[in-house]
Amino acid sequence: MTNAVSTPSRSKALSGLAAILFAATSFATTAMAVTPEEIKAKGTATIGVQMDQFPWGFIDSKGGNDGFDIEIAKMIAKELGVEVKFERITGQNRIPLLVNGNVDFLVPSMTITEERAKVIQYVIPYSSNDITVWGKTDAAIKGNEDLSKYVIGVNRGSAFEPLLVKVAPKGTQIKRFDDDATTVQSLLSGQVDAILGSVTYGLVIKETGYDKQFERKYKVADNFQGMAVRKGDKELLAFLTDFVTKHTADGSLDALYKKWIAVDRAKLPTELPGVDFTGKQ
């Protein structure tokens, strides 16, 4: 299988992994294994969450933390019988903060990838964020093959951009924007005919009163998300795995997802190629 990968593609993948490994191992010497009992003993769970990504995690009008991930993190802390301390994470710092021991674990709405799984320990998926095409209601877009007929917007530097480049037919006009907000605004203002990105873009479209002019066209790809602990934190991994399993069975996670994301939570896998959820590897 390795021989089938082109040298440039393989080099790019290795470079990406090297960057993550460098960021992680730079702090690895101070990282200590954490168990549920140790968290209970100190009385506080320090949990890495997003604070600027509605509806996953954000600061509400009263200055408090709120959102899908925030409610889940509070549930976990309650089951541990401890107070919760939220630590703000970004796409750049979340893995170093975890490996360094600045947080006990992550509830980050973070896409599960084989590359990241080499550095951190994922828990089985608890959420998903389908990668979706949103477009003008009258735009005849039913699949990737139709994208070349329209101007398509995407968040520059996001996981969405390389996917769009991969699936769009050759010659598709792609416009790149600096973040999710400006990407959605580009659609609403008529700069583009459609955009590729998060399923939650629909919440913004609805809140701004444009849900009659724009609609969800189709899902481009799955995007499964997982909590994460450090490699070797087997007891904490087992606790969080049990948490996800238990609250999937009782419907709690489905209800929270429906509340915040406004669509039904997908049936999530417990196995993914190249990713170990057991902590045995």
Q: Write out the two tokens for 47.
A: 């949990």
- Model confidence over 146-160: pLDDT tens digits? 999 999 999 987 779
The residue ranking higher by pLDDT, 98 or 109, is: 98
Q: How confident is the model at residue 132 (pLDDT cuts 50, 70, 90)?
A: very high
Q: Write out the two tokens for 277.
A: 């959820």
Any idea where the domains of the chain sit in the sequence? 10-128+224-261, 131-221
Q: Is the pLDDT of residue 5 over 80?
A: no
Mean of pLDDT values over 175-188: 93
pLDDT at 32: 62
**What count of other Cβ atoms lies within 10 Å of the Cβ of residue 66?**
18
Fold of 131-221: D-Maltodextrin-Binding Protein; domain 2 (3.40.190)
Q: What is the mean pLDDT of the chain?
A: 89
> What is the torsional sign of CA 67, 278, 252, 260?
positive
To the nearest 5 percent, what fractions of the chain are helix, strand and coil? 40, 25, 35
- Name the phi and psi angles at 100, rounded to 5: -75, -15
Mean of pLDDT values over 236-259: 98
pLDDT at 17: 47
What is the percent of the chain with per-residue pLDDT over 90, rounded to a whole number?
Answer: 78
Cα Rg, the chain, nearest whole Å? 20
User: How far is Cα of residue 257 from the mean position of the Cα atoms in its chain?
Assistant: 14
Mean of pLDDT values over 215-227: 95
Mean of pLDDT values over 208-227: 95
pLDDT at 196: 98
Kindly indicate whether the domain formed by 10-128+224-261 is annotated with CATH number 3.40.190.10.
yes
Question: Half-sphere exposure of 142 toward its Cβ, with a 13 Å CA cutoff?
Answer: 1
- Model confidence over 185-210: pLDDT tens digits? 999 999 999 999 999 999 999 989 99
Q: Is the pLDDT of residue 225 over 90?
A: yes
Residue 80's region, left for phi above 0, alpha for psi from -120 to 50, else beta, is: alpha
What is the percent of the chain with per-residue pLDDT over 70, rounded to a whole number?
Answer: 88
Q: Is the pLDDT of residue 111 over 90?
A: no
> Are 10-128+224-261 and 131-221 the same fold in CATH?
yes
pLDDT at 25: 45
Mean of pLDDT values over 254-275: 95
Q: Is the pLDDT of residue 170 over 90?
A: yes
